[in-house]
Amino acid sequence: MQFTYRAKQDPRTEASGVIEAVDLSAAVTHLKQMGLYPLEVVPLEKGGSPEAAARPRRLSRAALSLWARTVGQGLQAGLTLTQALHLLAEQERGRPTGQIAKILEERVTAGVSLGEAMEHLGSCFSPVAIHLVKSGEVSGALEQVLQALAAQVEAEAELLAKVRGAFVYPLFILAVGMGTMAVLILVVVPKLSLLFAETGQPIPWMTRLMISSGRGLVWGAGLGVAASLIGFLGIRRGWLEVPWAQWGMGLLARLPWFGRLIAHAEIARLSSTLGLLLGQGLPLPQALQLGAAAATRPQLRGQIQQSQQMVLEGMNLSASFRRVGLKEPFLLTVVAMGEVQGDLSRAFQQAGSRYQQEVDRAVKVIGTLIEPVMILLVGVVVGGIIFSMLLPIFQINFSVG
C-alpha cells in the first residue's frame, strides 16, 4: 500500500514523497526510522491522489454530538486523544462516525493536530466545530470544548426538532384531506357523472364547477407534493444547489405564524453559537464570520456579515446590529449590557436561552391553534365536494316527487 507524506528533516527543511508500507502505522514508523518527523501521511489510491480519495459525508447533528461527547469523555477519563478516537472507531465501526474517527486517529497518530485533521476532511465537520476544537487545543482545554460542543449541538438539534414538529401535524392533516379529495374526485365523481347523464337532468353550476376543475386541482396538488418531496430529497442529498433551500426557507419565513417562529429559532441558534465561540476565546470578528456561515436565512446571514465589517471598522457590536436592521429588542439590550460588562459570551448565551424559551412557547401555541383550524378547513372543502355531488341527487328526488 502506498502513502504520500510530508515530514521534517530538520527544523528548516521539509521533505515529501511516496513510500510503501503495510498500513499507516507502519508508514509512520518507517519514516521515523529514516530520520524524518511526519507531518502528514495519507493513503494513496491507485490511479489517484489523496485528494481524490472518497471522503465520508458530513456528520449529522446526532453523529457530531456522539463524536464530541465520546471523545471528550475519553479525554476526561484519562485516555490519550488517539485512544479516545480508537475507542469511538471501534464502537461505531461500519458507520460514518466510526469511519471518520478512524481517519482522525490515523492523522493524529501521524503527528497532525485534531483541528487540522478535521479541517483536512473538508465538509465532514462544520467550520464552527473545527474552530472550536482548534481553540480548545491552543487553550489546553480540549475535553471541555468537546463537551460544550456536544451540548450545543444537542440543544440545536432539539430546537430544530421542535420547529419541524410544528409543521408536521398541519402537513399530515393537509395530506389526509387531499387524499380524501382525490378519492372523491377521481373515483366517486366519474360514476355519479354517468348517473347524471342518464337521467337527463340539468346539473347545478356548483357540481359542474367541481367536475370541470376537480381533476385539475387534484393533479396540480399531486404534482406540487411530488415536486416538494423531490426538492427536499435533492437538497438533503446535494442534488440541488443550496440557494433553492435558502429560497424555501425565505418563503416559510413569510408565513404569518411560522415566520416569527423561524426567525426566533434562527436567533436562538446564532446567539448560542456566538456565545460558545466567544467563550472559547475567539475574536469577535471571527466569531461573527463563523456565525454568519452557520445562519440559514439569507437575510440574517447578510446582516451578520455587514455587522462583522462594521466591527472591523471600529463600531461596537450593539450599534452595528441596530445599523444593519436587526429588530430584536431583547438581543440588542443584552448585547449592549454585555459590552458594558465586558462579557459578550455570557450575554449571547443568555439571549440564546431566552429565545429558545420563546420558540418552545410558540410551538405550543401553534400546535394548539393549528389543529382545529386545519380540521375545519379540510372539513369545509371535503363537505363542499360531497354537497356538490349530492345536490343533483336531491334535485332528481324532488323532480320525481
Residue 252 and residue 370 share a domain: yes
- Boundary residue ending a domain (81, 109, 125): 125
> Is residue 147 situated within a structural domain?
no
* Phi, psi dihedrals of residue 358, rounded to the nearest 5°: -65, -40
- Indicate whether 334 pLDDT > 90: yes
- Distance set, CA 339 to CA 332, 334, 343 (Å): 11, 9, 6
> Is residue 150 situated within a structural domain?
no
Residue 241 and residue 279 share a domain: yes
Partners of 2 in the β-ladder = 20, 44
Domain count along the chain: 3
Residue 315 and residue 180 share a domain: yes
Residue 390 and residue 284 share a domain: yes
> Is residue 139 situated within a structural domain?
no
Instruction: Over range 200-208, report the average pLDDT.
Output: 67
Residue 392 and residue 343 share a domain: yes
Residue 121 and residue 160 share a domain: no
> Is residue 292 situated within a structural domain?
yes
- Boundary residue ending a domain (76, 108, 125): 125
pLDDT bin (cut points 50, 70, 90) of residue 306 is very high
Measured distance CA(148)–CA(237) in Å, rounded:
29
Which of 254-268, 337-351, 374-388 reaches the highest mean pLDDT? 337-351
> Is residue 244 situated within a structural domain?
yes
Residue 236 and residue 110 share a domain: no
Residue 184 and residue 295 share a domain: yes
Measured distance CA(127)–CA(267) in Å, rounded:
19
What's 203's domain CATH number? 1.20.81.30
Residue 239 and residue 101 share a domain: no
Helix, coil or strand: residue 40? strand
Measured distance CA(350)–CA(285) in Å, rounded:
20
Say if residues 124 and 59 touch (Cβ distance below 8 Å).
yes
Residue 375 and residue 286 share a domain: yes
Cβ atoms within 10 Å, residue 334: 22
DSSP 201: P
Say if residues 346 and 149 touch (Cβ distance below 8 Å).
no
> Is residue 26 situated within a structural domain?
yes
The pTM of this model reads 0.60
Partners of 345 in the β-ladder = none
335 grid coordinates:
448585547
- Indicate whether 238 pLDDT > 50: no
| pLDDT digits 0-9 by tens, 124-133 | 888 888 888 8
DSSP 51: G
Compute the Cα dihedral for 45, 51, 53, 59 and give only its sign.
positive
- Indicate whether 211 pLDDT > 70: no
More confident residue, 319 or 44: 319
pLDDT bin (cut points 50, 70, 90) of residue 396 is low
| pLDDT digits 0-9 by tens, 256-303 | 566 777 788 888 888 988 888 888 788 899 889 888 877 777 788 889
- Indicate whether 8 pLDDT > 80: no
The least confident of 25-29, 64-68, 205-209 is: 205-209
Measured distance CA(360)–CA(15) in Å, rounded:
56
Instruction: Over range 50-64, report the average pLDDT.
Output: 65
Measured distance CA(263)–CA(250) in Å, rounded:
10
The pLDDT assigned to 312 comes to 92
In terms of Cα–Cα distance, which of 41, 51, 53 is closest to 17?
41
> Is residue 146 situated within a structural domain?
no
> Is residue 142 situated within a structural domain?
no
How large a percentage of the chain has pLDDT more than 70?
73
Instruction: Over range 119-128, report the average pLDDT.
Output: 80
For residue 380, the enclosing domain spans 155-401
Mean pLDDT of the chain: 77
Measured distance CA(371)–CA(95) in Å, rounded:
39
Residue 34 and residue 181 share a domain: no
Residue 204 and residue 301 share a domain: yes
Using DSSP bridges, classify how beta strands 37-44 and 13-20 pair: parallel, antiparallel or unpaired.
unpaired
How large a percentage of the chain has pLDDT more than 90?
11
Partners of 40 in the β-ladder = 6
- Radius of gyration, alpha carbons of the chain: 29
* Phi, psi dihedrals of residue 37, rounded to the nearest 5°: -105, 110
- Indicate whether 3 pLDDT > 90: no
Q: Which amino acid is at 106?
A: E
Give residues with Cβ within 8 angstroms of 384, minimum separation 6: 210
Q: Give long-range contacts, CB 8 A cutoff, 24+ apart: 171-174.
A: 173/371, 173/374, 173/375, 173/378, 174/374, 174/378
Helix, coil or strand: residue 57? coil
pLDDT bin (cut points 50, 70, 90) of residue 320 is very high
The pLDDT assigned to 97 comes to 87
pLDDT bin (cut points 50, 70, 90) of residue 51 is very low
